Structure 1
Amino acid sequence: MFYRNYSGWLREHFHCKMTKICIDGGFTCPNRDGTCGTGGCIFCGERGAGEHIRLGALSVAEQTARFIRRNPKSDGFIAYFQNFTNTYAPVEILKQRYDEAMQQERMRALAVGTRPDCITPEIADLLHDYTAKYDVWVELGLQTANDETARRINRGYLRERCTEAAALLRARNIPFVLHMMIGLPGEDMQDIANTVRYINSLHPWGIKIHSVYVMHDTVLEQMYRSGSYRPMSMQEYVSAVTYVLTHIAPDMIVHRLTGDCPPDQLTAPDWNLQKNEIIAAINQRMGENGWQQGCLYEATKSIPETRRTES
């Protein structure tokens, strides 16, 4: 294997068959309700990040119990709060939702997807409380280190908030994963390199690499239809991913290499549906060049970040 993948880490760490339960906690996003913006990020659909799950009508306990019943052969489960911003509520509500999930049998880990600007000391303390019994990690939606791109995609916070969130989690020994998107409007390899440097500087436990795809009924689709946004080709994406893999820290866990979009929601590019082919192409490029994760990490550390200005 050319990189430290998440499935391998699960086997090494838990020594049993682990299954992730994607949970809709019934939360929204401060970038949708007017707190810091409306409409959400330009690439985000109405279902949020968990496009495959539409379980908001069921309680967290019902969702987890149903999933466990349907997967009797699994030895353990990971409660993954995925949809929208899963720390965007009062601490008492968060505890109630997390407790509903973790009270189920064979639950071994709690994973929480959220925005960096929705991590407070109180929320970090709550998450730390669960580490007494479970593995816990937090996934932070960084997407890019370029604040100009952040404004362009309507992310709703500057990267300094991610630095602050990482510090809060690190102070409590809570592992965190950073999400990075490749192919964002207006970005090039310089931006990708800068984002990799920034990610390395925060020393996350893991990284999720997502392809940017165009979904129906999004602002990004409007840009695509008007000709103001062109998705990457598969070849361009594979090249960018291998750059990321060779320049991130060697011990970082790679949780994802591409994005998943329901076929009925995808506008473009068509290659995004070819997940196995994408991963095979990434592995082939790594192998043909004799590359391993982090083989150029030291070089990355020595290169200062290049600040871009909008023309």
Structure 2
Amino acid sequence: MKKQIKVRKVKNKPFRITKFFWLGVAALVMIVGIGMIIPFKPSANTLELAVNASSLKTIDTKGQIEGFKTQMLDSWQEEAKLKGILEIPKRYQGMTLNAVKPNNKDKIIALTFDDGPWPKYTEQVLDILKTNNVKGTFFVIGNNMKNLPVVGKRIVTDGHTIANHTWHHWYHRLNPSVAAKEINDTEEIIYKVTGVRTNLFRPPGGVLGNGPAAYARSKKYSVIMWSADSNDYKRPAASRLIGNVMRFSKPGGIVLMHDGGGVRDSTVKALPEMIKKFKQQGYRFVTIPEMLELEDQQLAIASK
């Protein structure tokens, strides 16, 4: 006989809201309210993370600004290159010059350098000029520009004037087509390397009658000679080189030196002392275009 199991029914008791329940609700509301009123105080680690994130954002913003500046500068330089013709006053175009008329109130002198760019020496000359805050004019050989484009470009980026000195530096008589090619090819390599063009020309050795100078004048180049020859191509002692220059220099003068074409140790050694002597005598240094512009202004005033 099976034992009968009795199931005891449990009655559901109704939920009774007591005073303890209401106290709990009130406490929870107070905690939430206080949390909303009192600002959260982050831990040191949290602060560090926030600062780092802020710094990264600032660095990123600065990087974007610098990138934008660089982009604008590159754009400006490209535009300048397209327009980059070193114009000189019209009165000097197609003329041969070895100096300008002196102005006693403004003692100016132009330092010019031939036959570069050249290994070692051109950069040494550029370093000296930069240290002394002096700008010069460099008459470059086209073939040398082709071989040393980085040095040739530095001439322009350092703020100096670059000018045409033929492709091969030949002295002998050239027929018209060869003379034209010597100058045109050099003009193109100057533009290709530096982004600027020039209408200043100096004939190799100062020879005016062998073809290139005549072609240059026909193309409105100013043929620039000199008034004070350093004779540095003879490799004199530095003291003698300085004496050669100072003896023949006058306001409005053009000094001939060489940064290329051979050993130029004397030129490099003499240049700082030469600059010092000119400054002591009250001279200031200008490029050839600046010199011609200054004289052009004086002549314009005098003609009024």
Common fold: TM-score over 0.5:
no
> Given the two structures, how large is their TM-score scaled by the length of structure 2?
0.31
Please say which structure displays the higher CA radius of gyration.
Answer: 2
> Given the two structures, how large is their TM-score scaled by the length of structure 1?
0.31
